[in-house]
Amino acid sequence: MQHKSFGNMQCPVARSLERVGEWWSILILRDAFQGLTRFDQFQKSLEIAPNMLTRRLNTLVDSGLLERRPYSDRPRRYEYLLTERGRDFRPVLWTLMAWGNRHFFPEGKSVVLVNSKTGVEAEPVLVDRVSGQRAMAPDFKAVPGPAADERTRRRYALVNQDRRDPAPPAVTAKRPRSRAKPESAV
């Protein structure tokens, strides 16, 4: 079966899945956030076949989430370090962890997010940087952005028509970014 590429779809979720949608990739990123950098460390932690690990690491490097850097010349060995793009994935991972704990661990949480200074368990939430409001429906919704093609605009119009909502306004310009980060931001 031929793998369909999401890389050129007019959807940020689809394009993101093209880079990290394979489960090994997310687990490699999880381990990279825990400080693992070397092939043998990832292999030992994940118990993954070497050929699969090589493919996943190459994909993460090609996607700009990890950087491959030599740490030994004889034999030639590399470490894999998170890039800025990779580090930007951390809130996604924390949110996925909280969602998994809430819905798939009836026996209790096996890993939790805590405040580094206090040790108190944290609950990640998505907050709008400009308003400081928690980003939740119905107060927030996805709408076509300035680069949306006609197909994307029709899809959102259709979805909103089925809900009997007025068509969402298209975003025409970026709003100014606030420099202040709300304390409750992830």
On whether both 82 and 16 belong to a single domain, the answer is yes
Q: Looking at the domain assignment, is residue 177 inside a domain?
A: no
On whether both 75 and 21 belong to a single domain, the answer is yes
| Interatomic CA distance for residues 124 and 56, integer angstroms | 27
What local confidence, expressed as pLDDT, does residue 183 receive?
Answer: 45
**Domain total of the chain:** 2
| Interatomic CA distance for residues 24 and 46, integer angstroms | 8
pLDDT under 50: residue ranges of the chain: 178-186
What local confidence, expressed as pLDDT, does residue 22 receive?
Answer: 79
Q: Looking at the domain assignment, is residue 173 inside a domain?
A: no
Closest CA to 48 of 35, 57, 59: 57
Q: Looking at the domain assignment, is residue 185 inside a domain?
A: no
What are the tens digits of pLDDT across the range 81-116?
999 999 999 999 999 999 999 999 889 998 999 999
Q: Looking at the domain assignment, is residue 37 inside a domain?
A: yes
| pTM attached to this predicted model | 0.77
Q: Looking at the domain assignment, is residue 55 inside a domain?
A: yes
58, 87, 116: which is the final residue of a domain? 87
On whether both 75 and 106 belong to a single domain, the answer is no
* Domain boundaries, position 53: 12-87
What are the tens digits of pLDDT across the range 11-21?
777 777 777 77
